[in-house]
A and B are shown apart, each in its own frame.
Chain A
Amino acid sequence: MKKTYLLYLLAAVAVAGCYKTYELEWPGGYTKPVINTFIQHDSILKVTVSHSSAPEEYQVYHRKDATVKLYADGVYQETLQPRQVAHAIIFFSQLPLSRGTRYLVTAEIPGFPMAEGEDIIPSPVPGIEASFSPIMMGNYVSNYRIKFRVHDNGAEHNYYRIRLFFKTTFNGHTYTTTVPSRLTNDGTENWELFGDDSVEEVLLDDALFNGRSPLYQFKTHSLSYADEFYLEVSQLTRDAYQYFRSAELQRRRRGDDIAEKVTVHSNIRNGLGIVGGMTVQYFTYKP
C-alpha cells in the first residue's frame, strides 16, 4: 500500500512539474486591415472589413468608414454599401456575381494602405452523389452513415469541402444549425500521427483521385433528434481551399506543443483575410 502512495506522489510531482506560465510584454504595432468575403455565382457580394487586434482580444473592430469597391475583370463595377447585420457591419453589392469573371475587392481604411484581394468562382462538378443511412443500436438510431462520391473532372485541379448541418425541433420551434456537426473521419485524411479522428469539415484535394470517382464514408455523432440533414458540398478555388485548410490546421494545432505554428493563408495584398471563390451544393435527407 505504501508503494502505491509513493507512486501517486511521484506521478503528482511529475505532473505538477510539467507546466509553468510566463507573462510577457506585447510589443504591439502589428495592426493590419482585414478583408473577408466568399464569392459565389448568382449571389450578391457580402464583405466584412475590419482590422486586426491584440492577441488577447476576441473582439473584431469592423470599419464602417472603409471604402469598399468591386472590380470585374479589372473594370470598376460599384462601391459597396455598409449595413449593420446583427453584431457585424457588412458591405453589400447591388449586382449579383457570375461565373467566369475574375473579381477584385479593394478596401480603403483611413490610416492604412489600400488592401485588395481577388479570385474567381469555380465551375460546378456535375457528378456528386450523397446518401444517408441510419445505424441502428437495437431499435434505436445511434447515428448515421453518410456516403459521398464525387465524379471528379480530370481536366481541372479541384478542391472540395464537405460539411453537415441539420434541422431540429425543440419546444415547438424549428432550428437549423449554423455550426457544422462533427463527422467521424474514416481515416481518409488523417495523416497526423496523433491527430483528431472527427472533424467539422472535410477538405479534399483531388490530387489522389483526379478524374476518378472515389467513395468517402463518414459517420455522424448521435443525432437522433435531427429532423432533416443538409450535406453541404462546396467546390473551392485554390485560395479558398488553402484558407480553410490553414485555418483548420491553426485551430487544430492550437494545443499542440511541438507543431510549428500555422499562419492562415491570405490572398489580400497589404492586409489579411480572404477573397475566395466557391460553388456550393446541398444534399438533403429526412430520416
Chain B
Amino acid sequence: MRIYLTSMLILCCLGLSARQSGRLTISFHRTTLDTAFRMLEAKTGWHISFEASRTKGIMVAARTFKDADPDAVLSSLLAGTPLGFRRQGISVLIIPRPVSKTLSGFVSDVVSGERLPGVVLAVPDFRQGTVSNTFGYYSLTLPADSLRLQIQFMGYRRLDTVLLLQPDTRLNFALEPMSQVLGEVTVKGSKNESIEQSSQMSRISIPIAMVGSTPRILGEKDLFKTLQMLPGVKQGTEGTSALLVRGGTPDQNLILLDGAPLYNPMHLMGIFSTFNTAALKDVTLYKGAFPARYGGRLSSVVDITTKDGNLQKMHGEASIGLLAASLSVEGPLKKDKTSFIVSARRSYPDLIATPFVKKGEKAPEKFMLNFYDINAKLHHRISEKDQLYLSIYSGRDHMRFKYKDVKDENAPNDYSITDANVGWGNHTGTLRWSHVYSPKLFSNAMLIGSRYRLKIHNYTEDKYDGEINANRQKLHSGIEDYGGKIDFDYRPNPAHTVRFGASSMYRIFTPGIISQKQTDNGEVVMDSTNSNQRVRGTELDVYAEDDWEISPRFKANLGLHWSAFAVQGRFYQSLQPRTSMRYLLSGNWAVKASWSRMTQYIHLLANNTLSLPTDLWVPATSRIRPQQADQFALGVAKNLWKGKFEFTAEAYYKNMRNIIEYKDGAGYLTTGLSDGWQEHVAAGKGEAYGMELLLRKTTGRFTGWIGYTLSWSNRQMDQVSNGQTFPYKYDRRHDLHILLTYKLTKGIELTGSWMYQSSAPFTVAVGRFEHAEVPGYGGVEQFAGRNNIRLVPYHRLDLGANFIKHKKNGMTRTWNVSVLNAYNRFNPSFVVQNWRDVAPGKLEVRSVNFMPVMPSISYQLKW
C-alpha cells in the first residue's frame, strides 16, 4: 500500500512538472487588470494584446509570486474574469474565455440499432477524444463552440462531421457497417482504440466473427477454444474448454455474462463452453492489469455481452453440426423502442442413439445424455436517457441411465432397479437499467441472480421374496448469487474518465451435501445428511478508478477496489490497489506497467487432472481464508505497418496466497459419506511468471495472430506432495499459437491454426512398498511428489473452411468444414504407468490421446 501511495504521489508530481517552464518573481498591489498586464510585460518581455473594453473595470487584488511559471501568473490574474489567453512565444492574446460544452449520446449500428461499445470519437483539432462505454454511451467536454468530430469503429464506415455545440449537446450517431457499403470486403476487428493510446494492458477483445471462423470440434463454434489460442491462456487437458490464465486455475476466472457470474460454464464434461455465439456481441478478456471495476477472481476476467436484439427488423440464424443444433431469432417488438433476442441450442446425439441403445441386450429403461442452453434478452428504450435490459441464460447438462433387472424367470416379480442421474448447469438473470443523469454522468444499475447446481442422484431398489428395500442417495452441490450492482461513468473532461460504483452479493454455497434415505418394505430405516451444511455469505465491493491523461505522453488508470466478505461470523476485507499506466516513447512505442491485487472469496476443489462438473465450489470460511494474488506486468505496445498490425510484449509476475487443494488422497467422492470438506483440504501458495508476445492483424482479407508465451507456474502446500514445491498440472514452458484467416473470395474463407506447447507434467510412482495386509507383496505405489515427469511436446494443426453464399432472397448460408489435428499428431492427454516387463532402472508410461484427426461439418443459415 505504501508503494502504491508513493507511486500515486510521483504521478501527480510528474503531471505538474510536465507543465513547468521559465520562472519569475513579481508583486502586484491592488490595481487594474490593464496595469497588471503592463507589469507582466515588463517582467517577461511578452506583448500582451487585448481589447480595452473587455478589461475595463476589472481590478486585481494584491498578490506576490515567487519563482512562478509566467503562464500560471497570467492565469491567476485572469482567474474569476470572463477572460482567457492564448500565447505563442512572446505574443499573448487576451480573449473571451471559451465555455466548456459537453457533447454526449449513444453510438449504434444503423441497421440493427444495436449499441456499439468501444467506438472511438476523436477531436483532432484538440488532440482529444473518448471511447463509448459498454452501453454505447459517450461524453466529451471541450472548451469550444464548434468542433470537427471523427467517429471510428472497426468494421464500420468512418464518420467525419463538424458540429456546432450548445451548452449541453446531445447527439446519437448511427454507424453504417462496411459490409453494407462495400459488399464483399472483409473487415474484422475489435475495438478501435489504439493499443498505444490506451493505458490498459493485458486486455484482448475477440471479435465474435473470429470465433466463427476458427476450426471447430464437431461443428460447434466455441468461444473459449478461441480464447485458448491467445498468449497467456492455456487449454488445460486436451480437447477441453477450461481457461488457465497466467498460471491460474479454472476457478480464478471471473466469467461475466451480461454482468452475471457463471460457474463452470462447460458442456459435456468440459469439452464445450456454454456460450452460444449466435447471441454474443462482445467479448473482452483481461489477463492482468484488472481495472478497479472488476473484482472477486485472481487470474482473469472474461466480460461477455450479449446482443440487444435488432430494433429495426426480424433476423434469425439456424445452424446444425454433428453434435448440436441451434436457432436464434431477434427483432423489434416495437420498432426503435423494444427489441428481443432468443437463442437456443441443444445437443442431439442421444435422440439418435436412444432407439439403438434401447434395443441392446442390457437395454436401459431410461437413457439421457444431452445439453442445452438458452439465451434471451429484452431491451427497451424508455426514453433517450433511460434503457432497460432483461437478460436470461439457462444451460444444463443431463445424464441418466436407469436399468431394471429381472434375474429369475421363475420369479418375475422380483427385480432390482438402478437409476443414476447426473445433472449440472447455470441459470442467470440480470435486470439492468442504464440512465443518463447529465451529459457527463452515466450510470448502470443491475439486479443479478445466478445459480450453478450439480446434482447426482443414485437410486437402487431391490425386490426379493416379497421384501422391497430401497436406497436413495443424493449429492447436491452448487452456488447461488443474488445481489445488486451500480456503476457510474463520469467524464468531466477529455483527460479524465472516472468510474465508480458498488455491489453487494448474497451468496449461498452448497459444498457437497450428501443425503441418504433407506427404506425397508416402505419403512424408513435411515434418513440423514452429512455434516456439509450450506454456507451463506455476503460480499461487498466498492471501487473507484480514473483513467487520467496526465500529459499527451503519459496516461494512467489509477484505481482502488475494496471488498469484504462476511461468513460464519468472520469479516474478511481487502483493499486492492489497481494501477496501470502508459508512457509514449518516440516512434509511438507505448511502455506500459501495471500492478493489481485481487482477492477471491471462493475456492474450487478438484481431485482430477481434468476439470469436471463434480468439482466443488466452496467459500472462504472461518477456517479457510480467501485467496489473494498480486500481479505485476511490464510491457510495450505499438501499431505497426500503418496500423495494420498490433504488437504487444508483456512480462508478468503473479504470486497467489491461500489457494487450496485436497490433501493427498482426499476428495468428497473418496472420503465417502465423511465429515466436512474443510478437514480434507490444504492451503498453500502459488507462483506464476513469464512473458507473452502477440502480433495481431485485425483488418483486411488476411487476419489473425501469432502469440508466444514463456511461462512458469508452481504450487507449494505443506500437506500436498510432502510440502515440496511442485509444478502446477498445466505448467508448460513454451506456448506458440498461430491463428490465420484468409478471405479467398467473396464466398470462401479459409482458416488454419497451429499450436505448439512444451510437455506438460504428469505424476508417476517412484517406488513400491509392502501392503500391510499382504506380507511379502509390494503392492503399494510410492509417490515422491506431484507432477514429477514430463513427456513430449504438444503440437496440433487445425484447418477449416467456410463456404458462404449470399442468396437472392437475402439469406446467407454457410457450410463449415473443419479438420482438427490434421496431421494426426499423438499428443498425450493422460498417462498410466506400466508395471510389467519394465527394464530395471526405467519407468514406463502409457499415454492416452483424446483427439486424433477429427473432421466435422456444419451448416448455418442466416436471414
Q: Which A residues fall within an 8 A CB radius of B?
A: 13-14, 17-28, 30-32, 34, 36-38, 48, 50-60, 62, 85-88, 90, 133, 135-138, 142, 145, 157, 186-193, 203-205, 207-209, 212-215, 217, 242-243, 245-247, 249-251, 254-255, 257-265, 272-274, 276
Contacts and interface: CB of A to CB of B under 8 A. Distances in A.
Q: Which 6 A-B pairs have the closest CB atoms?
A: A257-B830, A36-B772, A88-B775, A208-B673, A56-B838, A52-B769
26 contacts: A13-B852, A19-B848, A19-B849, A23-B842, A24-B764, A31-B767, A34-B770, A53-B768, A55-B838, A145-B464, A188-B471, A189-B672, A189-B673, A192-B669, A207-B531, A207-B674, A208-B516, A208-B530, A208-B673, A214-B516, A217-B462, A249-B670, A257-B832, A261-B783, A262-B670, A273-B772
A215 B520 contact: yes
B672 A193 contact: no
Nearest to B408: A137
Contact of B766 (A26, A51, A133, A257): A26
Interface in B588-602: none
Contact of B609 (A58, A137, A250, A260): A260
Interface string B528-555: 1111000000000000000000000000
A58 B772 contact: no
A1 B780 CA distance: 50
Nearest to A276: B772
B674 A258 contact: no
Interface stretch (B130-138, B153-161, B285-293, B784-792): B784-792
Given A36-B770, A255-B832, A245 B784 contact: no
Nearest to A159: B674
Contacts of A189: 672-673
A261 B768 CA distance: 14
Given A186-B460, A212-B526, A20 B407 contact: no
B166 interface: no
B845 to A, nearest CB: 5
Contact of A213 (B525, B839, B846): B525
Contact of A208 (B459, B528, B841): B528
Contact of B665 (A26, A204, A263): A263
A54 B824 contact: no
A236 B388 CA distance: 62
Contact of A138 (B410, B789, B833, B853): B410
Contact of B770 (A60, A205, A246, A263): A60
B844 interface: yes
B843 A20 contact: no
Interface string B443-478: 000000000000010111010110001010101000
Contacts of B852: 13-14, 17-18
A18 B829 CA distance: 10
Interface in B805-863: 824, 826, 828-835, 838-849, 852-853
Contacts of A53: 767-769, 778
A254 B846 CA distance: 12
B304 interface: no
Given A17-B849, A52-B782, A208-B673, 11 more contacts: A21-B847, A48-B772, A48-B775, A55-B766, A55-B768, A136-B411, A138-B409, A145-B464, A259-B608, A261-B763, A261-B781
Contacts of B844: 21-24, 56
Contacts of A36: 770-772, 775
B675 A24 contact: no
B558 to A, nearest CB: 42
Contacts of B672: 189, 191, 203-205, 245
B614 interface: yes
B772 A56 contact: no
A53 B765 CA distance: 11
A70 B780 CA distance: 25
Interface string B397-430: 0000000000111110000001000100000000
Nearest to A201: B773
Contacts of A215: 469, 518, 520, 525-526
Contact of A48 (B459, B767, B770, B782): B770
Given A187-B473, A215-B520, A55 B835 contact: yes
B264 to A, nearest CB: 15
A148 B739 CA distance: 62
A187 B770 contact: no
Nearest to A197: B418
B776 interface: yes
Given A19-B848, A55-B765, A58-B768, A32 B834 contact: no
Contacts of B610: 258
A28 B525 CA distance: 54
Contacts of B514: 191, 208
B607 interface: yes
Contacts of B779: 58, 251
A145 to B, nearest CB: 7
Contacts of A137: 407-408, 410
Contacts of B786: 260-261
Contacts of B518: 214-215
B531 A20 contact: no
A190 B772 contact: no
Nearest to B848: A257
A263 B464 CA distance: 41
A21 B834 contact: yes
A214 B526 contact: yes
A52 B765 CA distance: 12
A2 B788 CA distance: 47
B407 A142 contact: yes
B34 interface: no
A18 B780 contact: no
A205 B671 CA distance: 8
Contacts of B839: 23, 56
Contacts of B608: 258-260
B4 interface: no
A19 B765 contact: no
A262 B675 contact: no
A85 B671 CA distance: 35
Contacts of B469: 186, 215, 217
B772 A37 contact: yes
A22 B671 contact: no
A181 B580 CA distance: 66
B777 interface: yes
B109 interface: no
Contacts of A186: 460, 462, 469, 471
Contact of B846 (A19, A26, A247): A19
B838 A193 contact: no
A245 B531 CA distance: 19
B531 A55 contact: no
A57 B836 CA distance: 9
A132 B861 CA distance: 65
A75 B79 CA distance: 92
Contacts of A265: 665
A249 to B, nearest CB: 5
B767 A55 contact: yes
Contacts of A19: 846-849
Nearest to A38: B772
A207 B783 contact: no
B664 interface: yes
A145 B520 CA distance: 14
Nearest to B766: A30
A142 to B, nearest CB: 7
Contacts of A157: 675
B673 A207 contact: yes
A91 to B, nearest CB: 11
A248 to B, nearest CB: 9
B665 A264 contact: yes
Contacts of B670: 245, 249, 262
B788 to A, nearest CB: 8
Contact of B772 (A51, A243, A260): A243
Nearest to B458: A187
Most chain B beta carbons < 10 A, residue from A59, A246, A260: A260
